[in-house]
Amino acid sequence: MTYQTVTFKEKKYNIDDNKTSKNLNQMQAKEIEKLNILLNDYKHLLESNEKTHKACINNNHKLNDIIKQYENDMKNMDRDFCLILDEKKILKKENTKIKNSIEMFFKLNETVIKEF
């Protein structure tokens, strides 16, 4: 009687007939098919993960650009606010000068009226 050695799930079996050998070979083929399916699923997950990772990197760059723009806008707003405060001081001084000029005008007007 001849024995054929078949390895299945890391175990070795000594098979004494062809029918059992074929059954074990078919079982091995099914297991290999399952492993190939799992391997393909894993490859798809890796590809999907890679795409997601690239999208995250892209979004991170966009977010950094938005943050830089926000920081620039804030600097510009601070500069503009300082300019507005300076303008306000200038206008306040001008307003005071105008007010003083008007008061002077009325004083002079009173003086001129008194003299007539």
- At 64-83, the pLDDT tens digits run 999 999 999 999 999 999 99
Q: Which residues of the chain have pLDDT under 70?
A: 1-21, 116
pTM of structure: 0.49
pLDDT of residue 116: 65
H or E element, residue 41: helix 18-115
- Cα-based distances in Å from 53 to 37, 42, 43, 64: 24, 16, 15, 16
